[in-house]
């Protein structure tokens, strides 16, 4: 049977038209998606709002924080774009990380579609690093210091020695490893007191009880004041004070407490020390000597007529109303091996000696390590 050429051409054309229609229908379906049953084929959910957390943040220059952006409703689709209102104050990366550049305020904006959310950023100037302390510096309640008096901060003491105060006191080094800058004397707290009023009734050194009933303390007793290697020449005030506090807390020892150390604890309640410090304690004979005479190349028991540091500190104390001058005799936390005596320092001559623990004419004054 012969096929008409015209007929074949018409059939081919019809097939081509049909295939084109099918392709067009498929493309349209791919473009619009499936029908949701209400004639809305493939419409994407738009973002209606953007929540940025935190909504406010304060940073110092150089600090960073990463913000989070939440788009609503949750099934909405879109990409969040972060921008800064002032890149000179704070910048932001594509993942929401903000970097503080310079003091000021700006807003960081997270945008998705037609919706956006913001975070208010406040940048403050970075604190300048503290200069190394020197004797005579003011020491503040926030743990900082300065040579010039800052009226915006609360002064609680005067730096009288710089260096590592824990180089001989292992307890101080273990409990306050951050205290490597020096020693500070309190502005006040100066009062006459016995070292241990009931020493006659007790009849032994505090160290003898500490050694028998506790662990972790160093022997702070002076066994030979004529030896330069004796404990008399070591900075052990923190150790001695904590040992005496353990003694005071011991069962039955309330009958004969170390009064001078109890006053140090009471002063700490009245004038809190910064967390970055050791807290107030009763200085050892060596530390008292540093406060009065400064560094001495030799046995402090030989000092006489050296009061330069006390004079410097008193000149600073005289500038503050309510502070107490350093004068007279002061108790140290250093016991003598002769149980009824403890060491004292004369601030009129710098001389180091010992006095009866029950005597009430010596004064107490407190220091801290920082």
Q: How many CB atoms lie within 10 A of CB 79?
A: 10
CA atoms of 102 and 53, how far apart (whole Å): 22
- Distance, in Å, from the CA atom of 370 to the CA atom of 140, rounded to the nearest integer, reads 11
- Candidates 343, 311, 315; CA nearest to 329 is 343
The Cα–Cα gap between 101 and 92 comes to 11
- Rounded to whole angstroms, the Cα distance separating 218 from 352 reads 22
Chain centroid to Cα 240, Å, comes to 25
The CA-CA-CA angle for residues 298, 288, 370, to 5°, reads 105
Q: Which residues contact 274 (CB under 8 A, 6 or more apart)?
A: 140, 141, 142, 143, 370
Radius of gyration in angstroms for the set of CA atoms belonging to the chain, rounded to a whole number: 38
State the Cα–Cα distance between residues 349 and 92, nearest whole angstrom.
64
From the list 252, 249, 325, the residue with the least C-alpha distance to 291 is 325
Per-residue pLDDT tens for 336-365? 999 999 999 999 999 999 999 999 999 999
Question: In the numeric block, which tokens belong to residue 219?
Answer: 């022997």
Gap between the terminal Cα atoms of the chain: 115
Burial track 210-223 (b if 16+ CB lie within 10 A, e otherwise): beeeeeebbebbbe
Residue 154: helix, strand or coil by DSSP? coil
Q: Where are the beta strands (DSSP E) in the chain?
A: 49-53, 56-60, 64-66, 68-72, 81-84, 90-92, 97-100, 104-112, 115-124, 138-140, 145-146, 155-162, 182-186, 191-192, 329-335, 341-346, 352-356, 363-364, 367-369
* Distance, CA of 350 to CA of 310 (rounded, Å): 9
pLDDT in tens, the chain (370 residues): 334 433 333 433 333 333 333 332 332 333 333 344 444 445 678 899 999 999 999 999 999 999 999 999 998 888 999 999 999 999 999 999 999 999 999 999 999 999 999 999 999 998 778 899 999 999 999 999 999 999 999 999 999 999 999 999 999 999 999 999 999 999 999 999 999 999 999 999 999 999 999 999 999 999 999 999 999 999 999 999 999 999 999 999 999 999 999 999 999 999 999 999 999 999 999 999 999 999 999 999 999 999 999 999 999 999 999 999 999 999 999 999 999 999 999 999 999 999 999 999 999 999 999 9
Distance CA 73, CA 76 (A): 5
CA–CA dist 9, 298 (Å, integer): 123
Residue 240 token pair:
């001695």
Structural domains in the chain? 49-124 (2.60.40.1080), 138-369 (no CATH)
């Amino acid at each position: 049977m012969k096929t008409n050429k015209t007929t074949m051409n018409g059939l081919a054309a019809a097939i081509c038209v049909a295939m084109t229609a099918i392709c067009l229908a498929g493309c349209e379906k791919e473009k619009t998606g499936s029908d949701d049953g209400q004639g809305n084929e493939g419409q994407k959910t738009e973002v209606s709002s953007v929540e940025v957390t935190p909504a406010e943040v304060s940073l110092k220059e150089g600090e960073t924080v990463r913000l989070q952006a939440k788009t609503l409703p949750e099934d909405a689709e879109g990409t969040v774009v972060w921008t800064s209102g002032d890149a000179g104050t704070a910048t932001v990366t594509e993942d929401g990380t903000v970097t503080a550049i310079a003091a000021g305020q700006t807003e960081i904006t997270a945008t998705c579609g037609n919706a956006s959310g913001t975070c208010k950023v406040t940048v403050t100037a970075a604190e300048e690093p503290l200069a190394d302390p020197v004797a005579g510096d003011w020491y503040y309640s926030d743990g900082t210091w300065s040579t010039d008096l800052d009226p915006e901060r609360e002064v609680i003491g005067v730096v009288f020695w710089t260096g590592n105060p824990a180089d001989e006191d292992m307890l101080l080094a273990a409990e306050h490893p951050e205290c490597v800058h020096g020693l500070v004397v309190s502005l006040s707290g100066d009062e006459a007191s016995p070292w241990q009023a009931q020493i006659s009734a007790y009849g032994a050194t505090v160290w003898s009880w500490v050694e028998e009933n506790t662990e972790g303390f160093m022997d702070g007793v002076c066994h030979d004041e004529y030896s330069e290697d004796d404990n008399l020449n070591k900075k052990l005030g923190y150790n001695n004070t904590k040992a005496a506090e353990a003694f005071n807390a011991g069962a039955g020892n309330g009958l004969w407490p170390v009064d001078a150390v109890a006053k140090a604890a009471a002063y700490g309640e009245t004038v809190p020390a910064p967390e970055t410090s050791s807290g107030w304690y009763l200085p050892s004979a060596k530390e008292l000597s540093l406060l009065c005479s400064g560094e001495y190349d030799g046995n402090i028991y030989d000092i006489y007529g050296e009061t330069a540091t006390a004079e410097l500190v008193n000149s600073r104390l005289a500038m503050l109303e309510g502070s107490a001058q350093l004068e007279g005799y002061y108790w140290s936390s250093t016991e003598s091996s002769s149980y009824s005596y403890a060491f004292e320092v004369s601030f009129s001559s710098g001389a180091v000696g010992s006095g009866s623990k029950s005597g009430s004419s010596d004064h107490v004054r407190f220091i801290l390590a920082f």
